[in-house]
Structure 1
Amino acid sequence: STSIKPDYQQLSRQYGAERANRIIRIGFEAMDWIGDFIKAEGIACDFQRCGRFYAAHSPRQFERLAKKFQQQDSRLPQELTTEAEIIPRAEQRREIGSDYYYGGVLQPQYASLDPARYHQGLLERAQAAGASVLSHCPVTALQREGSDFIVHTARGKLRAHDVIVASNGYTGALTPWLQRRVIPIGSTIIATEPLPPELINELIPNNRTLVDTRRLVVYYRASPDRRRILFGGRVSLQETEARNSAPALHAELTRIFPQLQNSKISHAWMGFIAYSFDALPHLGQHAGVHYAMGYCGSG
């Protein structure tokens, strides 16, 4: 997505108008960059500009959404305003086969991809460029030695001039300064069993990604092959087992789509995202260590 969590008014109050513009521009440029990069590198990861339907879970939230997108801040350059179509509840079935919501906003510039295939593409291209990749090899300590680092791992140690920590929701005691600056939050995804094509077409007719306005947000889409519904959310901030969260997510899925009352879950998995305290991603350097983390669910 192009989204930066804080809106323009919040950013301009905290950082001033000029810096707020730059922060929002980064979100727009990131969307264009990743599309261009995937195309240039030929990564087959089902990237497509499918658009997103942002659904309101109450009449009050629909009013809030409509006002937000109808009255985008006039101080923003035109190219940084979000293209949006307000869709009232009476018309929402053209975007979602459900009466659960109270309307929403269509954001056509949003995109989707298959993250596992994207990761595989990045891995293959990094290795082709000469990078050595050591999986299942945890780093146990970082030791500064002159201008370099000694990196201690479960399989030995190595010397590096530059170290980048990009552990996001898995940032731990190895880097306590970074650990104190992000909040790990578990997120679980379930996948339905294969569904009839006509049912998929009824539920998500235009292949959008979907998200709603609740604080414990849910997000979902059809799988790239349009055979399943992938449905994710945070059932509890403390839960760390997908098998425990999956039944509650399935119950929520069937509240939105009663048509799936008799469907079964074929897969469930979970992982950790990371929120920063100002809800912005952070890239920088501390004590000689480079870091990138705090994507707040938009990584």
Structure 2
Amino acid sequence: MSDLSLWHATANKHPKRPSLEGEKTCDVVIIGGGFTGLSVAYHLQQRNVKTIVLEAQSVGWGASGRNGGEVLIGYVEPMSALAKKYGRETAKQMFQMSMDCVDVIANIIEKENIQCDFFRNGNMLTAYKPSHLDSLKKEQEFLYDEYHFETKVIEKEDMHTEMESTYYHGAHIDDKSAIFHPLNYCLGLADAVEKYGGTIYENSEAMKIEHPSKDEVVVKTRNGSVKAKHIGIFVNAYTTDLHKLIKRAIVPVESIVLATERLPEELCKRLIVNNRAACDTKNLLYYYRLSADHRMVFGGSGRTTSKRDAKRLFIHLQKGMTEVFPALKDAKVEYTWSGKVGFTIEKIPYIGQLDDGTHFAFGYAGHGAAMSTLLGKIVAANIVNEGDKNNPLDRSNLKPIPFHSHNAKGLGIMKYYFKIKDYIS
């Protein structure tokens, strides 16, 4: 079994990029070489705005190369709940953004000929309890009544048309979501940034930010510095003390993923009939899909603090996979890995510009594979003063989460609470 992610093991051939040496200048310095930062650079380079991307590790090393590769419309909470929280018009804007994000990715993949196994066959949200299916039916009605967005609900007795499993009590299906090889998309996006004149430095951790004047910022690394007019920080759950306000506005939550050995194609066609993305309605949810090389990719929540703890968590996750898919009881697990997911206190992504001039976007809550590229595009527009001032996700008045330093303990308590809630719901 490999601790290397499936995506890193099957990545397209890509260059090893140099680390920053000496003093450089550009229009915009971008910290973070994942989906968001690369999208900002890509869309700025389209406008002939010179960008430099600083990545502490390698392109796609963080969540962009570790996620499940599910490009989903919507948010963690149902749109009906968001409409109650923020109002109908704001929720409508938010929903349209979640629809647009998949189109933006599809267009980039086509334009730049990125080979990343992009399949737009939709998403299947599976009902863990009968009561959950009732809620999914209400959400289906809401989406159609409010947005004229057509989805379908599958009853338990018809689940065989979508998956070979009796674990769930039905499903809510949209046809607009997608799956892809996340790291290969990220690597292709990096190639496109460079094609249009951007520069990417790997193994170049930003260690200090200075503001010599109102219209100038300097980012220092171990062996160099970048002077620019604008700065953006896009490291999501991998934030550091580089910018304390941003760090204290996001909560990192660990997710774990496994991938099986290659499975017979005929079995794959039975397991997830229409090759969709999938996740369930538990609070401590499972998410799963098939890879292009016929493996089951199966993920869930878990915090790996040691090798012994990691082994226990992955054994438990594999047990969960075989409960959902009994046909995989003898399937060998070949890859296991983990990564951090970023949450805001509202459980929606944040975007904006702080008083010190720093642009940001983070807190995708498991929907970053979809939303991050779009938010990167919006940040790029904001930097050149072409953005929409009425963005419903704008949180330029960013505030730290109360008692942020105690969130690790709080997450442990919340997971125990959610485990009980999943059991009794």
**Aligned residue in 1 for 2:255:** 187
**Aligned residue in 2 for 1:112:** 179
Matched, 1:52 2:123: yes
Q: Counterparts of 1:240 and 1:270 in 2: how far apart (Å)? A: 12
**Aligned residue in 2 for 1:87:** 154
**Aligned residue in 1 for 2:61:** none
Give CA deviations for 1:88-141 in whole Å, capped at 9, x if unaligned: 111101111111111111212211111011011011111122222111111111
**Aligned residue in 1 for 2:332:** 264
Instruction: Give the CA deviation at 1:19.
Output: 2.4
Q: What SS is found at the alignment partner of 2:179? A: coil
Q: Counterparts of 2:269 and 2:334 in 1: how far apart (Å)? A: 20
Instruction: Give the CA deviation at 1:179.
Output: 0.9
2:350 partner letter: H
Change (3 A) 1:144 1:16: same
**Aligned residue in 1 for 2:95:** 24
Change (3 A) 1:101 1:7: closer
- How much identity, in percent, do the aligned residues show? 29
**1:235–1:249 Cα contact (<8 Å) kept:** no
2:128 partner letter: H
Give CA deviations for 1:255-292 in whole Å, capped at 9, x if unaligned: 11111112211011111110111121111111111111
Change (3 A) 1:252 1:22: same
**Aligned residue in 2 for 1:128:** 195
Q: How does 1:137-216 map to 2 (within 5 A)?
A: 137-146=204-213, 147-216=215-284
Instruction: Give the CA deviation at 1:71.
Output: 4.1
Q: What SS is found at the alignment partner of 2:184? A: helix
| 1:254 maps to which of 319, 322, 325 | 322
**1:53–1:106 Cα contact (<8 Å) kept:** yes
State the TM-score, normalizing by the size of structure 1.
0.92
1:201 partner letter: K
Change (3 A) 1:53 1:9: closer
Gaps of 5+ in 2: 1-71, 369-425
Q: Counterparts of 2:323 and 2:211 in 1: how far apart (Å)? A: 54
Instruction: Give the CA deviation at 1:73.
Output: 7.0
Q: Which has the higher helix share?
A: 2
Q: Counterparts of 1:178 and 1:290 in 2: how far apart (Å)? A: 10
**1:235–1:248 Cα contact (<8 Å) kept:** no
Q: Counterparts of 1:42 and 1:260 in 2: how far apart (Å)? A: 34
Q: Counterparts of 1:105 and 1:10 in 2: how far apart (Å)? A: 16
**1:243–1:268 Cα contact (<8 Å) kept:** no
Q: What SS is found at the alignment partner of 2:172? A: strand
Gaps of 5+ in 1: none
Q: Counterparts of 1:205 and 1:6 in 2: how far apart (Å)? A: 26
Matched, 1:274 2:342: yes
Instruction: Give the CA deviation at 1:150.
Output: 1.7
Q: Counterparts of 1:259 and 1:40 in 2: how far apart (Å)? A: 39
2:288 partner letter: Y
Give CA deviations for 1:146-185 in whole Å, capped at 9, x if unaligned: 0211211122222122111000011121111011111111
Q: Counterparts of 2:284 and 2:272 in 1: how far apart (Å)? A: 22
| 2:104 maps to which of 33, 37, 41 | 33
Q: What SS is found at the alignment partner of 1:292? A: strand
**1:222–1:229 Cα contact (<8 Å) kept:** yes
Change (3 A) 1:62 1:251: same
Instruction: Give the CA deviation at 1:55.
Output: 0.7
State the TM-score, normalizing by the size of structure 2.
0.66
**Aligned residue in 2 for 1:288:** 357
Aligned residues: 293
**2:151–2:172 Cα contact (<8 Å) kept:** yes
